[in-house]
Chains A and B, each alone.
Chain A
């Protein structure tokens, strides 16, 4: 019962390089999210998806792109990494219910450093 799996767990990039973070969930959840967590800033929503083939911007979307081609996967891409994108990235998923959300399940996080 894997839940939400993020890969890679750690990555060091140079400024200007590109990379993709993969989030995979095996719970058949409709909703998926990408957050970043920075000291003193809490968790901030980057992008989210309400179903396969859909994506939407969150609070801090600039510099990131996402795709949800398959229901179980949510990819976060950095086309040209900047030092300001050094952070810990968390993926989460949730199933839809009448109240708009159920308990979110989070991945273990991906620590990205941009030099």
Chain B
């Protein structure tokens, strides 16, 4: 059974700091990995998707990497802003496009 872990559960950083969010998974037989953002009381918004054959994806100030063999992914946020405050979830896709989610990291960026 696939398990996805995100540690720590919460993180607080000052504005402008570069930061890394970690995600680990137990079964390396994945099709892809996605990072999502969730604002309080809202749904999930997909940030980045990395196919199993890729090593990284970039979108603006966000960069996600994938190391399938070690079961790890990182989400790098450059020059963090208060608007980046949200919960960030990673999810891995297996058979039938079923996603297994981590519990998320709640990020707070202090002005």
Q: Contact residues of A with B, CB < 8 Å?
A: 31, 33, 35, 40-45, 48, 50, 56, 58, 90, 92, 94, 96, 99-109
Give the residue of B46, B51, B100 whose beta carbon is less than 8 angstroms from that of A99.
Answer: B51
Q: Is the CB–CB distance between B44 and A101 below 8 Å?
A: no
Tell me which residues across on chain B come within 8 A of A44, comparing CB atoms. Answer: 101
Additional A-B contacts beyond A35-B101, A94-B97 (8; CB < 8 A): A31-B97, A41-B103, A42-B101, A42-B103, A43-B44, A92-B44, A101-B99, A104-B97
Number of contacts between A and B (CB, 8 Å)?
67
**B68-111 vs A, Cβ < 8 Å mask (1 yes, 0 no):** 00000000000000000000010101111111111110000000
Q: How many residues of B contact A (CB 8 A)?
A: 26
Min CB gap A20→B, angstroms: 20
| Cα distance, A106 to B34, chains bound together (Å) | 13
Tell me which residues across on chain B come within 8 A of A33, comparing CB atoms. Answer: 98-99
Q: Is the CB–CB distance between A42 and B104 below 8 Å?
A: yes
Give the residue of A40, A58, A106 whose beta carbon is less than 8 angstroms from that of B98.
Answer: A58
A-B contact pairs, 24 of them (CB 8 A): A33-B99, A40-B103, A42-B102, A42-B103, A43-B91, A45-B99, A48-B98, A50-B97, A56-B96, A90-B43, A90-B44, A96-B97, A99-B32, A99-B51, A99-B52, A100-B31, A100-B95, A101-B97, A103-B34, A104-B34, A104-B44, A104-B46, A105-B46, A108-B43
